[in-house]
Amino acid sequence: MDIYEFLANELINLVPNNKFICLNNFGKNRWFGFIYRGYEGLMSKPRENSNNVKRKKEGYFDIYVCTGDRYKERNGYKPVTHYNAFQDLLENSNLENCYRIWRGESPMEITSNLEEQESLCTLALLMFEQELNWGNEIWQRQTNFPPRIESPYQRPRDMIMGFLGIVFYYRDVDAILNWKYKKINGELTKTTATFGQGYRYLDNDYRRFFEELQLDNAAMPLMIEQCLEDFRNKVKLVPDNKYYIDKQ
């Protein structure tokens, strides 16, 4: 069982309760894991410039990633973002170990270095969140990387891994050209990596970091086979997202 299947089993047994699920405890103020948010989470809300969501159960399996005080101590604010996680990985890990997380290995089996374990736990949780919230299912948003288990292989978490390929190649988080911004502690701060006008318009010099992942058949998407069936069964009887409007 890879790390994403493990976390998925924990979540499916938890929903609809919102207690904390622990991936690893590194000590005081160092609990890494997630809290189930469901329709209270950000993924259940309409996108900017819209009043509705596109899919019936959109956001139902949303979670809040918990990383203790790691990023409060590093950056002065507690929530983890793509920007501060990528910077952390660039400083404390390497591309090969990020690939190992992407393929489903546990951070604690990859390294004995605590700083690197924490940074890789963060990555695993962000990739798990990506697999939950993006894809073809009625609780997910559409993605450029829907699951494919035949060549060209594809997983929703390829979005994060592709951006990390750029970061490590250029040795600079700001090599990613497009970001969402949020005001944090009074300052406009880079948070989530984006494709700007869209993935289809991405320059080939950057696109290759995502397309290379399609050659790898070792990293499996989460929402397939028994796991997908479990999530579909779980969501059958829950109410629709209140922001969904049936246009039929």
Q: Is residue 244 part of a domain?
A: no
Q: Residue 1's pLDDT is what?
A: 83
CB neighbours (10 Å) of residue 31?
A: 16
Q: Answer whether residue 43 shows pLDDT above 70.
A: yes
Q: Is residue 241 part of a domain?
A: no
Q: Answer whether residue 247 shows pLDDT above 80.
A: no
Evaluate the CA torsion angle 239, 240, 245, 248 in order and state its sign. negative
Question: pLDDT averaged over the chain?
Answer: 96
Q: Answer whether residue 246 shows pLDDT above 90.
A: no
For residue 195, give the amino acid letter.
Answer: F
All residues at 6 or more sequence positions from 72 whose CB lies less than 8 Å from its CB, including other chains: 78
Predicted confidence (pLDDT) per residue in 159-205, tens digit = 999 999 999 999 999 999 999 999 998 999 999 999 999 999 999 99
Q: Is residue 245 part of a domain?
A: no
CA distance 87 to 80: 11
Q: Is residue 248 part of a domain?
A: no
Q: Is residue 242 part of a domain?
A: no
CA distance 84 to 121: 14
Domain of 208, in residue numbers: 1-235
Q: Identify the helix (H) or strand (E) that includes residue 169.
A: helix 158-170
Under 8 Å between Cβ of 104 and 219: yes
Percent of the chain predicted with pLDDT > 90? 92
Q: Residue 248's pLDDT is what?
A: 60
Predicted confidence (pLDDT) per residue in 96-122, tens digit = 999 999 999 999 999 999 999 999 999
Query: Which stretches of 30-79 are assigned E, i.e. beta strand?
Result: 31-36, 63-67
Query: Which stretches of 37-146 are assigned E, i.e. beta strand?
Result: 63-67
Under 8 Å between Cβ of 93 and 116: yes
Predicted confidence (pLDDT) per residue in 122-172, tens digit = 999 999 999 999 999 999 999 999 999 999 999 999 999 999 999 999 999
Q: For the chain, how many structural domains are there in total?
A: 1
Predicted confidence (pLDDT) per residue in 196-234, tens digit = 999 999 999 999 999 999 999 999 999 999 999 999 999
Q: Which tokens is 242 given? A: 């209140």
Under 8 Å between Cβ of 180 and 244: no
Q: Is residue 247 part of a domain?
A: no
Q: Are strands 63-67 and 31-36 parallel, antiparallel or unpaired?
A: antiparallel
CB neighbours (10 Å) of residue 185?
A: 8
Residues β-bridged to residue 183: 188
Q: What 8-state DSSP symbol labels residue 244?
A: B
Q: Is residue 186 part of a domain?
A: yes
Predicted confidence (pLDDT) per residue in 44-103, tens digit = 999 888 899 999 999 999 999 999 999 999 999 889 999 999 999 999 999 999 999 999
Percent of the chain predicted with pLDDT > 70? 99
Q: Residue 48's pLDDT is what?
A: 83
